[in-house]
Amino acid sequence: MISRQNGQAKPLSTPSILEEHDLSSGAAWLSSAPQTVQDQFLDSLDEHELAALPWMFDFWALDHQLAPEGDWRTWVIMGGRGAGKTRAGSEWVRSMVEGDMPMDPGRAKRVALVGETFDQVRDVMIFGDSGILACSPPDRRPKWEASRRRLVWANGAVAEAHSASSPEALRGPQFDAAWVDELAKWKKAEEAWDMLQFGLRLGERPQQVVTTTPRNVQVLKQLLQASSTVRTSAPTEANRAYLASNFLEEVRNRYGGTRLGRQELDGVLLDDAEGALWKTSMLERTRVSELPEFDRIVVAVDPAVSSGKASDACGIMVVGAQTKGARKDWRAVVIEDATIQGASPQGWAEAVVAAYERHGADRVVAEVNQGGDLVETLLRQVSPMTPYKSVRATRGKIARAEPIAALYEQGRVAHYSDLGALEDQMCNMTTQGYVGRGSPDRVDALVWALTELMGGPAERPSVRTL
């Protein structure tokens, strides 16, 4: 471990204390050591070492935040939300550019900072709480030149901000290092990534770091398969010391054990289930950020037959559609997943009516195979005038879901808002059955909603039953 004093590397005076303990970082050891040992360690540092300690990332870093050894071209840091990926990227850039003289041998001189948009590069990678400026000590902090969209260090190193949404802007510049953030989210991922690779051509050994939450996208899977790629990963909990305790509790309670939770919290790259009716890549293409005007909106319900924490959820989906006009113009948007878990029959009936009123829906559609007339009775008790239609399943779940999956393949259905739990169930619906945990209650409600909208007043779109 070193500190820097007047530009010279200087070892900390007590590295042997840390080496005696098998912990993920010096900071982890220090925080768990007895007070007398903490005092001994801190007292052994002179004033320059104490001043340098907060900026020594090797002392604070977790294992997955430290660059692997070896002759690699790409280091992928793949982790859950809040696992410390941004801090690792910022500190790696620092390690590449900081030097005490212009043209310092072995230091990067031209760095690309590439995010999904320019705003995200600026607000997260540069000015964010774990961005480059926040991680840089005052005497080594680079200057932000807003008009040129770049950071400039005193030794002459430059980091340029680039948006992956404008891949052509990467045609021409050249670099000897790059930090790529949230590659798996980029809408033009393959094009932007290719342009960056053509520009990463300066120096003896150009390198790049990719910090991303994993998603099942082709560009990330191909990168991880490359022989020149190394990877570190960690779940959200690895960085729990810097996260609110109630955040971890809430997200684990909601997403623990789900496909979305394994991806967003555990940082695991998930492949689609074999024979899945919906693919992750298919769902990624359905995102919309604004809602159109709808001709019809329905709330569909897959009622829970019991209540309590261990019971199946009551699937509640709100879906709108543009049903008027030519058959080829038929489109639908899943507006909200209002599914409720563990509620009493009265509780889920109130949730259904609330969703109906919140979105100004035209009708409530409910499956009555198990609840029979009780479903309508419960809804009428909450809201006697709510338009209601009962539906009864005469085919199995997969047979009902297949024509709905075909609508997605045709690009007729889009997703709005946070629908991660629904999409988790969708990706576990296969031609052989449901391979997820529990019952696909959300998918059942979705299927009923879209089936109702397809059979509305407008001409029914052509859907082939697989």
Domain count, the chain: 3
| In a shared domain, residues 52 and 81 | no
CA 136 from centroid of its chain's CA atoms: 27
| In a shared domain, residues 308 and 200 | no
| In a shared domain, residues 288 and 390 | yes
| In a shared domain, residues 48 and 190 | no
| In a shared domain, residues 96 and 242 | yes
pLDDT, tens digit only, all 466 positions of the chain: 333 333 333 333 334 333 443 445 666 666 677 888 777 877 788 877 777 777 878 877 788 888 898 899 999 999 888 889 999 999 999 999 986 544 555 677 999 999 999 999 999 999 999 999 999 999 899 999 999 999 999 999 999 999 999 999 999 899 999 999 999 989 899 999 999 999 999 988 999 999 998 887 889 989 999 999 999 988 888 887 778 878 888 887 777 766 677 778 888 887 777 889 998 878 878 888 899 999 999 999 998 866 566 567 899 999 999 977 656 678 999 999 999 988 888 999 999 999 999 999 999 999 987 756 788 889 999 999 999 999 988 888 999 999 999 999 999 999 997 788 898 899 989 999 998 878 899 999 999 999 999 874 433 333 433 3
Closest among 101, 107, 98, 94 to 176, alpha carbons compared: 107
Residue 421: phi, psi to the nearest 5?
-65, -40
Residue 450 lies in a domain: yes
Residue 179 lies in a domain: yes
One-letter amino acid for residue 277 of the chain: L
| In a shared domain, residues 155 and 243 | yes
| In a shared domain, residues 208 and 113 | yes
Q: Helix or strand or coil: residue 363? A: strand
| In a shared domain, residues 73 and 51 | no
Residue 380 lies in a domain: yes
Query: Could you give the maximum distance between any two Cα atoms of the chain, in Å?
Result: 82
What is the C-alpha to C-alpha distance for residues 181 and 120, in angstroms, rounded to an integer?
9
What is the C-alpha to C-alpha distance for residues 112 and 426, in angstroms, rounded to an integer?
37
What pTM value is reported for the model?
0.60
What tokens does 319 get?
């879906």
DSSP E strands in 174-236: the ranges are: 177-181, 207-212, 229-234
CATH number reported for the structural domain that contains residue 393 in this entry: 3.30.420.240
Q: Structural domain of residue 18, as residue ranges?
A: 2-60
Closest among 261, 288, 283, 353 to 316, alpha carbons compared: 353
Residue 268 lies in a domain: no
| In a shared domain, residues 38 and 72 | no
CATH number reported for the structural domain that contains residue 122 in this entry: 3.40.50.300
| In a shared domain, residues 336 and 382 | yes
Q: For residue 124, count CB atoms less than 10 angstroms from its CB and return exposed for 0-12, middle for 13-18, buried for 19 or more.
A: buried
Task: Work out whether the CA dihedral 369, 309, 280, 323 comes out positive or negative.
Answer: positive
Residue 448 lies in a domain: yes
| In a shared domain, residues 191 and 256 | yes
CB 367 within 8 A of CB 439: no
CB 297 within 8 A of CB 319: yes
Residue 269 lies in a domain: no
| In a shared domain, residues 211 and 330 | no
